Amino acid sequence: MALVIVTVSSQYGSGGLGAGRIVAQRLGYKFVDQQLPTVVAKRLGISREAVSAAESASASVAERVLRVLELGTPEVDASQGGPSFDEECAREVQQAVRDYAARGNCVIVGHGGSAILGRRPDVIRVYVYAPRDWRIHQIMSGHDVDEKTASDEVDRIDRRRGEYMRHYYEMEWGNPAHYDLALDTSTFGPDGAAALVVRAVELRGE
């Protein structure tokens, strides 16, 4: 079977992370998620937490700057013509995604993987979504929080993910035109969604 890379983008609370992990397990692929901040941290000579703070789609720009300063990571002054710290991290994340993709047979969750790799014959770009109410209840049960907290988090993180993709890739996050598969986990569940992705990989690799 030919080498295949799967990228998974997902709405918050839709179970995209779990579905991606199942796909990797069933195919015997490398599962790439938290490894990316670690790789970037080593390349930049900073802490993994600083990278996560800079890249976090769940924080505003101001929140990210404050978190980076708290971690003792110097900001690059964009007014002096250099890239900002966030831009440095984004550039290194992009290279790390390409490096993992070059090895093939991996599942890359989040980090703009679908936009970084784009439409390629060896890439299957997956978007995982579900109705807002369904996702809110998933967050409530999974994180033991009340409905208002879950609702606020769903809206905030989805909004930040959309802003991240527009800012760095000029891409409308969640637009079906940017993906090969769009799967509703309220219909299929994470296991069912994973099974469909596995079948797509098998078809692509034939």
**HSE-up (13 A, CA, CB side) for residue 76:** 13
- Kindly state the tokens that stand for 125: 């770009």
Question: What is the reported pLDDT for 35?
Answer: 66
- Kindly state the tokens that stand for 34: 């938290």
Region 97-110: mean pLDDT is 91
Q: In the structure, what pLDDT confidence band is assigned to residue 138 with cuts at 50, 70 and 90?
A: very high
**HSE-up (13 A, CA, CB side) for residue 122:** 14
- Kindly state the tokens that stand for 20: 């991606």
Q: What is the pTM of this model?
A: 0.80
Cβ within 8 Å of residue 203, ≥6 positions away: none
| Bridge-based pairing state of the strands 30-32 and 106-109 | parallel
With contact defined as beta carbons under 8 Å apart, do 15 and 138 qualify?
A: yes
Residue 13: strand, helix, or coil: coil
Residue 175: strand, helix, or coil: coil
- Kindly state the tokens that stand for 50: 């600083």
Q: Please write the tens of the pLDDT for every residue from 140-181.
A: 998 899 999 999 999 988 988 888 888 888 888 889 899 999
Of 83 and 203, the structure prediction assigns the larger pLDDT to: 203
Query: Is residue 141 within a helix (H) or strand (E), and if so which, with residue range?
Result: helix 132-143
Region 123-128: mean pLDDT is 96
Question: What is the reported pLDDT for 31?
Answer: 93
Q: 57-61, 80-84, 190-194: which range is least confident on average?
A: 57-61
Q: Which of 3, 14, 16, 18 is nearest to 126 (CA)?
A: 16
Q: In the structure, what pLDDT confidence band is assigned to residue 74 with cuts at 50, 70 and 90?
A: very low
